[in-house]
Structure 1
Amino acid sequence: MDRKRVPGPELSVAPLVEYPIDHERWTPQQEKRHDPKRQPEDLRPIYLKTGLISQASGSAYIELENTKLACGVYGPRPVKKIGQGFSGMGVLNCDFKFATFACVKRRNNTRQDPQEKELSQILSQALAPAVRLELLPKSVIDVYITVLESDGWGSCLAAAITAASVALAHAGIEMLDLVAGCSASYMQIGPSISSTTTETSSSSGAGNPITPQIQIFMDADTEEEKYEQGAIVLAYMPSLNEVTHLLQNGKAEGPIINQSVEHCMEACNKVYAVMHHALLESMKESKDA
């Protein structure tokens, strides 16, 4: 820095950063989550509102505490690609994008990164079985998701599925059923694997070995996802009792995965009631207007 042109202050004071005295880093414990108000099977409170984007055919805004995103649906409209022949099925295009300020690490605002492209494809696969694309030949439906704040990768994807389904219904597009999304994470509770093997070898076969427990946390946030051994995201149509998409990562035994799927299906039924209420409220507002 050129001090002749840009003189600095004569005196400077270091900033004071105060941390709470009782600040402790959260670690996974049985029946205790990062949010002490929630039990392992509880979801975060959901706020869902339609009609946020006036220029779109249908729109929805969803908020789960620190997870906030907006969805806009445009179409159906004719395909404008030159050289594309007649298609008896409509096309569902999904665009998933994080805002620049949505995550702790600043995101690129110009183009999609590989994670956003993957989430766009997953979102399209989760919604396509519920939309009557056979009734929209040579047409395209564009779904745009913008994440304003992200608090958990799984919950963000599940919220995008829920908001996109409500936005499609708000746009008047014929669907077989609404698609509700839910996520679940499973993590080890109790002693770690290394400590378990150490205690077992030191006991020299005396006593029963300590076996770690696996706890399922529904709708995990970012802090809880740091300790997860695996997670699933389920897209489910409650009225038809059909799963449109299931995404699983990490390692887990079959019974744990089956239990996670059952918990997600029960949670989707609760989310389904919120989706119905939001659509009914939008119909009442349109009638009053």
Structure 2
Amino acid sequence: MAADRKRVAGPETSVAPLVEYPIDHQPWTPFTEKRHNSHRQPEDLRPIYLKTGLISEANGSAYIELEKTKLTCGVYGPRPIKRAGQGFSDRGTLNCEIKFATFSCVKRRGTMRDAQEKELSQILSQGLTPAVRLELFPKSNVDIYITVLESDGWGSCVAAAFTVASVALAHAGIEMLDLVAGCSASYVPTSIPSNSNSSSSSTTESSTGAGSTVTPQIFMDADLEEEKYQQGSIVLAYMPSLNQTTHVLQTGKAEGSIISQSVEHCVEACNKIFAVMNHALLESIDQKKL
């Protein structure tokens, strides 16, 4: 039987690389420092790099980078629906698919789409559909393919997917009511609960347990290290010009005041992201004129 020379199989057993830390190195915890990145305040976002026109074969494309979070998106269509048995529809359909690269996460992802990726694809479709004028292209389909090249936090990855997909749709010339900006916030306790033990393991358990009495602090655009200590999180998809929310994804438990405050912070952050999105689209127009 001939060997498969086109596929590079990884080793059956592997070990983590050896990283040498200083002798006085201490792992980050929210109880000793405010944020994993000492230069960021709780309300600060990571710097955003947004570029259009990455995929030449697609009708529209965009690339977004937030430090260690990197996503690329390609939009194809509108094109006729070719599925057999599909009846007439006076509105177009929006098909979203998100795929994590095998090397994008700390734990290696599979090559086939798993349940989490299918769930995220449905969430993206629900959040982007209200912004697209699907009534303008009946019996047609718009396909959105998002690839996560590197993920540094689940909430920031989903929020970045909303942003990059919206910019790619606009770059493809799909008529929209407004751009959709995504933002995430995490509820992280920054002090040790009164009922915690002295050990670090019990501290982590008590900070997320039911007996915790500490009011968590809102960390905007939390990274992977900060998400390890979060009690909950929220991802908001928002249309800044229309002042309308298209999707809210809430996980974990938190008081109503914390949730409402995090929504207000996310709306303010989406307005800032909206300016970056507009700038990226204006740059793409200037490049076409050249």
Q: Which of the five TM-score ranges fits, normalised by the shorter chain? A: 0.7 to 0.9
Name the counterpart of 1:32. Answer: 34
Is contact 2:30-2:190 (8 Å) kept?
yes
Name the counterpart of 2:76. Answer: 74
Instruction: Kindly indicate whether residue 105 of structure 2 is the aligned counterpart of residue 122 of structure 1.
Output: no
Is contact 2:238-2:246 (8 Å) kept?
yes
Supply the distance in 2 between the matched residues of 1:180 and 1:249 (Cα, whole angstroms): 19
Name the counterpart of 1:253. Answer: 255
The letter of the residue matching 2:255 is E
The letter of the residue matching 1:170 is H
TM-superposed CA distance for 1:23, in Å, is 1.7
Supply the distance in 2 between the matched residues of 1:173 and 1:123 (Cα, whole angstroms): 17
Supply the distance in 2 between the matched residues of 1:113 and 1:16 (Cα, whole angstroms): 30
Moved over 3 A (4+): none
* Most deviating of 18-27 and 155-164: 18-27
Question: What is the root-mean-square deviation of aligned Cα atoms in Å?
Answer: 1.6
In the TM superposition, what are the counterparts of 1:190-201 in structure 2 within 5 Å?
A: 190-192=191-193, 194-195=195-196
SS at structure 1 position matched to 2:30: coil
Overall identity of the aligned pairs, in %: 75
Q: How many residues align?
A: 260
TM-superposed CA distance for 1:195, in Å, is 2.7
The letter of the residue matching 1:191 is I
TM-superposed CA distance for 1:29, in Å, is 3.5
Q: Which has the larger radius of gyration?
A: 1
* Most deviating of 81-90 and 215-224: 81-90
Supply the distance in 2 between the matched residues of 1:252 and 1:113 (Cα, whole angstroms): 29
The letter of the residue matching 1:178 is L
TM-superposed CA distance for 1:16, in Å, is 7.5
SS at structure 2 position matched to 1:276: helix
TM-superposed CA distance for 1:268, in Å, is 0.2
TM-superposed CA distance for 1:30, in Å, is 7.9
For residues 76-107 of structure 1, the C-alpha deviation after alignment (integer angstroms, 9 at most, x for no partner) is 00000011111011000000100010001111
Name the counterpart of 1:8. Answer: none
The letter of the residue matching 1:269 is N
The letter of the residue matching 1:73 is V
Supply the distance in 1 between the matched residues of 2:52 and 2:90 (Cα, whole angstroms): 30
TM-superposed CA distance for 1:250, in Å, is 0.2
Name the counterpart of 1:48. Answer: 50
Supply the distance in 1 between the matched residues of 2:120 and 2:213 (Cα, whole angstroms): 36
For residues 220-267 of structure 1, the C-alpha deviation after alignment (integer angstroms, 9 at most, x for no partner) is 000000000000000000000000000000000100000000000000
TM-superposed CA distance for 1:22, in Å, is 2.8
Q: 1:193 and 1:116, CA in 2 relative to 1: closer, same or farther beyond 3 A? A: farther
Is contact 1:96-1:120 (8 Å) kept?
yes
Is contact 2:31-2:192 (8 Å) kept?
no
The letter of the residue matching 1:45 is P
Name the counterpart of 2:239. Answer: 237
